[in-house]
Homo-oligomer: A and B are copies of this chain.
Amino acid sequence: MANVVRGVSSPYGLHRVLEPAGVLPQQAWRLDPDPQPWPDEVVVDVERLNLDAASFRQLREQHGAGPAVRQAVLDIVAERGKMQNPVTGSGGMLLGTVRAAGPESPLGLTAGDRIATLVSLTLTPLRLEDGLERWDGATEQVPCRGTAVLFARSIAAVLPGDVPDAQALAVLDVCGAPALTDRLVREHGGTPSVCVLGGGGKSGSLSLAAARRAGAGRLVGVVPTEAEAARLRAAGLADQVAVADARDPVGLAAAVGEPADVTVVCVDVPGCEHGAILSTADSGTVAFFSMATSFSAAALGAEGLAADLRLLIGNGYVPGHAAFALDLFRAEPGVRALFEARS
């Protein structure tokens, strides 16, 4: 047993991998969810799981609602020691309270802290103890009782006292996009123009606010409908609000007008790569934050258009991203209004 003979723990959680040996926890079939923390780990009393939307949809389609979907989640967690949907490969995040932090944990958490995990459930050791009796299987919000483990390199955010849980979670879920937007604008120097595809959404509105605060010049928000355009105009986050289908490269480029120095893609539908490339100025940057992005469509699209652009895979981790996004949310009434319109 892992808690009888103990070797050296790994900041990436390699010591929790039971099967197959030697892979990272995210690739593992089975993790050891033992709630006894290693010296650099944190153990959390779990209060709620937020299943990834794609995972929840698949489970509902396969099992229907109610007891069957509940049993499916229980079976996955019992077998794998983590809530990673074996069909979609995706997970979600969790809410809970720190039970114990090992003496060598670098996460800065102490017993009693209410936290949300910012690393995926796909790599988080998890044990459920209540049979999910309070979950009706109707939504991806799963109230539960159980334990989870955070490694030295895991990321968790202490939930703020002044923002309701649901809103804080929604902000934390997309906090990588505004943090990277901030960095791109500052790295660029001067007053780069920034275009956000999906500027009326959660990650999009935060990215617009981040760009403004970082000193961007002209700010363009692109949305798919007039109704969303009206809301984004009212929110005051962009200098120019354009209505266009981001999957239509020619229409999108026409709607944006002068190409932007930095384009941030926050539209979660496939097929936006070429439009983003075509609406970005030479030597500019496109940051893709949509999980629907196709690597090859982006790479070949830029080559086919002879576009000398820097194409970034939106990395969900930037140091300080959680506090930064919550701060934008608190400070910007326009962002809060758009979040409320979407909740």
Query: Chain A interface (Cβ within 8 Å of chain B)?
Result: 12, 14, 22-27, 118-120, 122-123, 153-155, 176, 248-251, 274, 278, 288, 291, 293-296, 298-319
Contact = CB atoms under 8 A, between A and B. Distances in A.
Given A306-B119, A308-B319, A313 B295 contact: yes
B316 A313 contact: no
29 contacts: A12-B278, A12-B305, A23-B248, A23-B249, A24-B274, A26-B304, A118-B303, A119-B304, A120-B304, A153-B306, A154-B306, A291-B295, A291-B296, A295-B298, A299-B313, A299-B314, A299-B315, A300-B316, A302-B313, A302-B316, A303-B315, A306-B317, A308-B318, A310-B315, A311-B312, A311-B313, A311-B315, A312-B313, A313-B313
A120 B122 CA distance: 37
A58 to B, nearest CB: 15
A125 to B, nearest CB: 13
A31 B333 CA distance: 49
B24 A250 contact: yes
B291 A27 contact: no
A92 to B, nearest CB: 12
Copies of this protein, total = 2
Nearest to A311: B313
Contacts of A300: 26, 120, 122, 316
Given A22-B248, A274-B26, A317 B293 contact: no
A303 B317 contact: yes
A122 B304 contact: yes
Contacts of A278: 12, 24
A299 B145 CA distance: 30
Residue from the set A26, A122, A274, A299 with the largest chain B CB neighbour count within 10 Å: A299
Contact of A295 (B23, B25, B293, B306): B293
A312 B315 contact: no
Contact of A317 (B250, B294, B307): B307
A238 B335 CA distance: 50
Nearest to A319: B308
A86 B308 CA distance: 28
A77 to B, nearest CB: 18
B154 A301 contact: no
A132 to B, nearest CB: 25
Interface centre among A153, A305, A311 (most CB of B within 10 A): A305
Contacts of A249: 23-24, 27
Given A299-B314, A299-B315, 20 more contacts: A12-B305, A22-B248, A23-B249, A24-B274, A24-B304, A26-B300, A119-B303, A120-B303, A122-B300, A176-B303, A288-B295, A291-B299, A295-B295, A299-B316, A302-B316, A303-B315, A308-B315, A310-B312, A311-B315, A312-B312
